[in-house]
Structure 1
Amino acid sequence: MKQYKQFPQKKFNPIFKKKKNLPKIKPGLDYNLKKIFSSIGIPETQPFKPDPFQIKALSIIENSDCLVTAPTGAGKTWIASEAIGRILKKGGKAWYASPLKALTNSKYIEFSDIFGPENVGILTGDRKEKPEAQIIVGTTEILRNQLYDAMSEGQDIDSNFVILDEAHYLGDIDRGVVWEEVMIYLPPRVPLLMLSATIGNARQIASWLTLIRKRQCIVVDEKKRPVPLFPLFFHPSGTIMPLLSGNKSSGQIYKKVKDFLNNKNNLSLSLPGRLPPFGDILKVLKKYNLLPAIFFLKSRADCDNALNMCEKNLNNDPDKKNHIIQIIENICLHVPHIRKHRQIRHLEQLAVGAHHSGQLPAWKLLIESLMNKGLLDAVFATSTVAAGVNFPARTIVFLNSDRYNGIEFKSLTPTEFHQMTGRAGRRGMDKIGFATAIPGKYMDIKKVSKLINAEPEDVTSQIKINFSMTLNLLLSHTSDQIEELLERSFAAYLLDNGKNSEGHEYLKNDFSRHYRFLIETGYVSQNGQLTEDGIWASQLRVDQPLLIAEGFRKGIFPEDDPNLMAAIIASFVNERETNDRLDKEIVPNKLQKCFKHVTKNLKPFQSLMFERGFGLHPFYIMPAFTMFLWAGEFHSWEKVVAISGMAEGDLAMLILRTADNLRHIIALKNVFPKAAEAALQAVEKILRDPVINLY
């Protein structure tokens, strides 16, 4: 004991030593920011005057296709609405396609206000309202499916004008194929207006479209942001500095920031593995009028945990608090479950919220509504909020220079970075927007400084052959005609220009591989025509069309039980590796028997697919069990979430995708009436509070 007393305890405490490097945050402002910060505020209201690029695009679309690339919030939707108005005056019809259901719903409301609700319809997987209206707003997949139907019936699509919003989705690894198909299949007589974030090879895309559509496509490229962006650095002491030196276009890091980065003993905002003190950071941002802010964090858990660190950010404005409560109550009228949400208190008392894919659609809509109305000081979000969701802020805050892409963490690309910074600065509400970098373990300041002025990336083709595409094209084309169609793809164009004939042949070979398998399995005849089974299977425009079709051919689906139908289809929808270690005593015997019956009977077909080089879809009983419980109303939502082991948002997505697959089965009512009726009842059972359509 005497030996121990000779050494003070604090010398042995590593946590204590680290705490010495944690500063007390005090608001401070670098003197070089005073002029910039003096411009913070709300711009004077002025009569709307379209920008030159908007006028130019409207002029072009009268006689040509047009690809508009411009920063977020630059006013691309105005071009679309003006062009739609002109079509309506001529008695024509317009189709507005967007990548996200949430965005589609908001455009439906917006266009209904502009053109009258009687003139606007909506088509998504969840909604089908006024499909004969002069203006249709829908998801790009629905537009693609309408083009399939028109081609198979030998008809023309019932539209005189098509708008593809977020056209840079052409390069999306999962869904880009749908955008490319629309561009290839759309009749040249229909003018095409594409609205996109800034992309590097816009003129290359336009050249390809001009070639395949025999109709000139002209690019309108606007680089100017509607609200100027200024990059900042948040020093751990609480002092805000410029991130870049005087001429920010040079990309040179500000000297004081450079000195900080070069100091091996520099201060840190948090201990390793801990989040920074967001309450103190908000205090600094509030002092310098930099709120509201969006904080981009690494994970869902970080977004949720950040809220508890904002206890000092009390909402002391009674009017603001009452407005928040009123909006919450309005959403709770449709989705009562929201009242139980553990983060309600943070909204009402602290004016902060979290937004990520692990949350219910209704909750995310609530956060977006509050942010758009300027009622929240901060939202803590994952990077998914940057793409396609419209709730800007005065300031966006970066804590990492990488993002999770669903598989691994990768460095931010210029496109991803610009999508995030595009949320900084609200048109009509801000004179200037700010992008603030906070130093930390996952923040590479040098990399971020280069991204600020980085040129946008090129969009590449993501077209890939699948069985749904093959079946639908064979409805209206011969195999030779389809090969000619594939030669018109953006992939073929890029490869031809790159003088890589081997890559060009890959698409043809892959189509031939799918085509041969469909012949082998009886969905296509030897002469290249769809068989009866092939015709109805082509209507299954889902991820696993052949497996589901084979289930119908074998008569193994539970056509007399909507709960079981929902459960089995959920196992086709599920793409997550799932822990299937379930106590058999808690899984109803009829579900076990049904699941075993379906998977056992499909196993030979799956094995054949695998032998022929096609992917193997694993079946798990856990998602089926989860959906069975939910469809049968055996437990509360909270209990089903707990049993599933999934986040609320993930379970909601599984339910919504299952409902979408069931709708495709409903469409087969002339061939499989009992199954279609079971699917219809299943959709009604699973789409209820808190997983319902709010609009």
Structure 2
Amino acid sequence: MPRLPHIPEEFADPDTLLEAFEDYCAELGIELYPAQQEAIYALLAGDNTIVATPTGSGKSMVALAALFAALSQGRRAFYTAPIKALVSEKFFQLVDAFGPESVGMVTGDTAVNPGAPVVCATAEVLANQALREGPLLDVGLVVMDEFHYFGDPQRGWAWQTPLLTLPQAQFALMSATLGDTSRIEAELTALTGRDTSVVAGAERPVPLEYDYSEDPLQETLQRLVRAGQAPIYVVSFSQRAAVELAGSLTSAELADRAQRDAVAEAIRGFGFAKGFGQILRRLLLHGIGVHHAGMLPKYRRLVEHLAADGLLSVISGTDTLGVGINVPIRTVLFTALTKYDGRRVRKLRVREFQQIAGRAGRAGFDTRGYVVAQAPEHVIDNAKALAKAGEDPKKRRKVKRKQPPAGFVSWSRETFDNLASGTPEELTSHMRISHSTIVNLLSRPNATYRTVDAFIAATHETANAKLDMRLRALGIGRSLLAAGVIEPTTTSAGEPGLRPVGDLGPQFALNQPLSPFALAALELFDPADESWALDVLSVIEATVPAPPAVLMGQLDRIKREELGALKAEGVEYEERMEVLDSLQRPQPNGEALESAFEAYVAHAPWLREIGLEPKAVVRDMIDQSMGFSQFVSYYGLARVEGGLLRYLTDVYRALVQTVPADLVTQPLRDIVDWLGEVIVRIDSSLVQEWEALRAAGAEAEALPMGAADTRLSADPARFARLVRNEMFHRVLLAERAAYDALGALDSDSGWNQKRWEATVEDYYAEYGELGIGPEARSSALFQLGPEEDGRMRVRQVLDDPRGDRDWAISAVVDVAASDAADELVLEIVDVGPVRP
């Protein structure tokens, strides 16, 4: 890919820059649209520019031109986006365009060349820097992608803050669904002294056609496929619904034999793990993909590649499509025009609908895109019944019409038409004042209470909302003074001022606010104790946020097992419910950590808003000798395994970056190494990105990459450890009588739930107890034979209370199959008294 030329600053006038950029586009074979040219002209003229053109109209090229101009003119530039995936994607694109020395990335947990003249960042990173430095921040241009996030209730503050605090910057605000921006235009001009141009109303390069369907979903999809309107992205508003819908389509014959054969060839050799991996493989072989944020990255990328190659007829996914996710599609089909927003079910807003619908039609591939909405299910059923009755009035009157479920929020063809033709709602301010906002503002040189007041006055909030923010800021300020976090001072002009006590450190602004607490909390424990490694892990896990679905899965499993035990004991219903309500998920060192946190937040009260969350996810995997797939299966987490992987990665990085080297004992190093291996084995597609980050100068330590390119069995010690964990995991399940989980693991080798239960109950009839302590885990009770013809015999002897050691679980490991699947393939041969 060609790079943009280096133009010395003294020659970087608008005409020269425009000519150079047009030559670059010509080299790429790109002809700029009129709207792109208009936006680029405005930016080169020095205007703030709001680019509100349709999806597919080339806003990325406008951003590239703006960054090229800033780089050539010696102005430091920021590109911001809402999610790390988009920031990372843009980072690598800009490295290709400008060279690695000119581009950096900061996302809160990753800093790559952060002092570069062009920085890709999540919006919160720039917002925090803008609060702390304001007009002194070294920034001459800010490109804010997906600017409609300005109206997001939780995160909109980060998009608004730079517009209030960076008068020295030129702004390029980009989104397809901005609505009326007149207020933002006026305030941006007042802040920067620059004219503000708006480029909007451009003709969409790929026009859209709209259709409202009252046919059953399968019939609608079959019609669209026959009409050549695939690939079709079917939108659901939850991950569970997306997967269930995909499974319901396998009988619809949406792909012909040639297409299914092509998919089979394309995925040959791809490592589909158990659980969701096998579900996805079966769906793909029917020409159906799934795409949502809870999937492992390697599965999402596979679906994207297959869709790009035209091999998938349908992709069933969530509304994350509207955040610029890279799935090339021709048709968007809405299964509903309502969504649950966390509080209630409501109709889609115009912006939400158009953001998703705008992904239909691929520039350069399609001459037209299609947007379809399904009518409510009861409407479809009624239409089908009426069609069956024909034109006979008597028969039609006899049709018993279905009614919507109680509380159902309905929609209609009129709803669809209004969403398709409507103007996106005006962006609403959602500024918030927090402890961190106040501390950041008071970090500026010569800050006074007026610094905070001026910031609040500049926000886009109503007068009443500003009054509320001032009162909240006053309360926060008093608490910070009382805690000794800020102190009175005198400005250089001799006025009373305020400033933070000491240096809060860069992590405060980079969204890792609990790292200092984690470091301090390590002092609660003794490195000489046997439990030190696990104690450190409990500290790190408590400070790293986990997906709620993972923690809920743990608690649900605990409650199911306890409920079964209570029923078996004949406990009455009311008492059972009382016991279940009292249960909690594992929280090692929870009381000690929460007590320490309460003391810590007295001097850092802003952390109370973030909160501490003692938990045991990684530790649970260690305690139960579980690998990733076993953990997912045991707790029913197939739907959110991508979120689990991100959590494991965050814990790994926190362990590497937070724990001082002199406190890393060998057992802790073993945990870190094991966790790194787990992450790489789960999804080696992440390795390419991390390796590229390292090559570009990543400051954060990366994962152990060596494991990524070797066979599972290449390291005998690691392979033996995997086998040992796999076998002892079955001992743990047997000890707690989790026969359903044992059956799920081994039914393919003839050991279903009933067989495991009968066998283990025979053991208990003889011995009454099954040991799972240190002696049971010892190497003396684990036997792994040499490899013979690609197979290894393994035996896990059970720790009985009499010390007879005459019961064992025997199995055979298929080494070649394990290497091919990149996970252990093991077949149970026998469970029972040891045979010679």
Matches within 5 A, 1:483-522: 483-492=452-461, 495=462, 500=463, 502-522=464-484
Alpha-carbon distance change, 432 to 340 in structure 1, aligned in 2, over 3 angstroms: closer
**Aligned-pair CA distance for 1:288:** 0.9
Alpha-carbon distance change, 512 to 199 in structure 1, aligned in 2, over 3 angstroms: same
Alpha-carbon distance change, 144 to 425 in structure 1, aligned in 2, over 3 angstroms: same
The correspondence for 1:53, drawn from 35, 40, 65, is 35
Q: Is residue 297 from structure 1 mapped to residue 236 from structure 2 by the alignment?
A: yes
**Using the alignment, how far apart are the partners of 1:327 and 1:132 within structure 2?**
41
Aligned twin of 1:251: none
Alpha-carbon distance change, 565 to 59 in structure 1, aligned in 2, over 3 angstroms: farther
**Using the alignment, how far apart are the partners of 1:206 and 1:569 within structure 2?**
44
**Aligned-pair CA distance for 1:488:** 4.9
- List runs of 5+ in structure 1 lacking aligned partners: 1-45, 237-268, 270-275
Give the counterpart letter for 1:202 in structure 2: T
Matches within 5 A, 1:340-355: 341-346=277-282, 348-355=284-291
**Using the alignment, how far apart are the partners of 1:181 and 1:555 within structure 2?**
35
Alpha-carbon distance change, 321 to 673 in structure 1, aligned in 2, over 3 angstroms: farther
**Using the alignment, how far apart are the partners of 2:75 and 2:98 within structure 1?**
14
The correspondence for 1:524, drawn from 457, 481, 486, is 486
| 116-125 or 558-567, larger mean C-alpha shift | 558-567
Alpha-carbon distance change, 390 to 328 in structure 1, aligned in 2, over 3 angstroms: farther
Matches within 5 A, 1:191-590: 191-236=170-215, 269=216, 276=217, 278=218, 280-308=219-247, 309-313=249-253, 315-316=255-256, 326=266, 341-346=277-282, 348-441=284-377, 443-476=411-444, 478-492=447-461, 495=462, 500=463, 502-527=464-489, 528-532=498-502, 535-536=503-504, 539-541=507-509, 545=513, 561=532, 564-572=535-543, 573-574=545-546, 576=548, 578=552, 580=555
**Using the alignment, how far apart are the partners of 1:175 and 1:373 within structure 2?**
35
Aligned-partner SS, 1:200: coil
Aligned twin of 1:690: 682
Give the counterpart letter for 1:530 in structure 2: P
Aligned residues: percent identity?
A: 23
Aligned twin of 2:55: 72
Q: Is residue 651 from structure 1 mapped to residue 627 from structure 2 by the alignment?
A: no
CA contact under 8 A between 1:559 and 1:674: conserved in structure 2? no
- List runs of 5+ in structure 2 lacking aligned partners: 1-27, 378-409, 490-497, 563-585, 690-836
CA contact under 8 A between 1:198 and 1:223: conserved in structure 2? no
CA contact under 8 A between 2:515 and 2:658: conserved in structure 1? no
Aligned-partner SS, 2:68: helix
- 1:211-265 deviations in whole A, cap 9, x for unaligned? 23333322222343221111113342xxxxxxxxxxxxxxxxxxxxxxxxxxxxx
- 1:610-636 deviations in whole A, cap 9, x for unaligned? 9x99769474x5xx2113235789421
**Aligned-pair CA distance for 1:281:** 3.9
- 1:295-316 deviations in whole A, cap 9, x for unaligned? 1124322221233322453655
CA contact under 8 A between 1:470 and 1:511: conserved in structure 2? yes
Aligned twin of 1:139: 122
The correspondence for 2:589, drawn from 588, 594, 597, is 594
Question: What TM-score, normalized to structure 2?
Answer: 0.61
**Using the alignment, how far apart are the partners of 2:512 and 2:102 within structure 1?**
36
The correspondence for 2:79, drawn from 96, 100, 107, is 96
- 1:427-461 deviations in whole A, cap 9, x for unaligned? 11111111112222365333112211111111111
Alpha-carbon distance change, 652 to 470 in structure 1, aligned in 2, over 3 angstroms: farther
**Using the alignment, how far apart are the partners of 2:342 and 2:278 within structure 1?**
26
**Using the alignment, how far apart are the partners of 1:197 and 1:149 within structure 2?**
31
**Aligned-pair CA distance for 1:113:** 3.3
Aligned-partner SS, 1:429: coil
Aligned twin of 2:627: 636
Give the counterpart letter for 2:465 in structure 1: G
Give the counterpart letter for 1:358 in structure 2: G
Aligned-partner SS, 1:350: coil
Alpha-carbon distance change, 370 to 642 in structure 1, aligned in 2, over 3 angstroms: same
**Aligned-pair CA distance for 1:284:** 1.8
Q: CA RMSD in A?
A: 4.1
CA contact under 8 A between 2:105 and 2:111: conserved in structure 1? yes
Alpha-carbon distance change, 656 to 196 in structure 1, aligned in 2, over 3 angstroms: farther
- 1:323-378 deviations in whole A, cap 9, x for unaligned? 77557868x6xxx8599712342454222111123322332233233323433211
CA contact under 8 A between 1:557 and 1:565: conserved in structure 2? no
Aligned-partner SS, 2:631: helix
**Aligned-pair CA distance for 1:526:** 4.8
Aligned twin of 1:15: none
CA contact under 8 A between 2:260 and 2:285: conserved in structure 1? no
**Using the alignment, how far apart are the partners of 1:328 and 1:119 within structure 2?**
40
Alpha-carbon distance change, 409 to 80 in structure 1, aligned in 2, over 3 angstroms: same
**Using the alignment, how far apart are the partners of 2:601 and 2:176 within structure 1?**
41
Aligned-partner SS, 2:507: coil
Aligned twin of 2:580: none
CA contact under 8 A between 2:274 and 2:629: conserved in structure 1? no
Aligned-partner SS, 2:80: strand
**Using the alignment, how far apart are the partners of 1:207 and 1:222 within structure 2?**
19
Number of residue pairs the alignment of both structures matches: 580
**Aligned-pair CA distance for 1:555:** 6.1
CA contact under 8 A between 2:36 and 2:59: conserved in structure 1? yes
Aligned-partner SS, 1:95: strand
**Using the alignment, how far apart are the partners of 2:679 and 2:433 within structure 1?**
32
| 648-657 or 202-211, larger mean C-alpha shift | 648-657
| 504-513 or 547-556, larger mean C-alpha shift | 547-556
Give the counterpart letter for 1:464 in structure 2: R
- 1:646-693 deviations in whole A, cap 9, x for unaligned? 431332344455567778857xx7xx9859998995995885443646
| 559-568 or 457-466, larger mean C-alpha shift | 559-568
Give the counterpart letter for 2:620 in structure 1: L
CA contact under 8 A between 1:315 and 1:348: conserved in structure 2? no
Matches within 5 A, 1:603-618: 603=598, 617=611
Aligned-partner SS, 2:51: strand
Q: Is residue 124 from structure 1 mapped to residue 107 from structure 2 by the alignment?
A: yes
Higher relative contact order (CA 8 A, sep 6+): 1
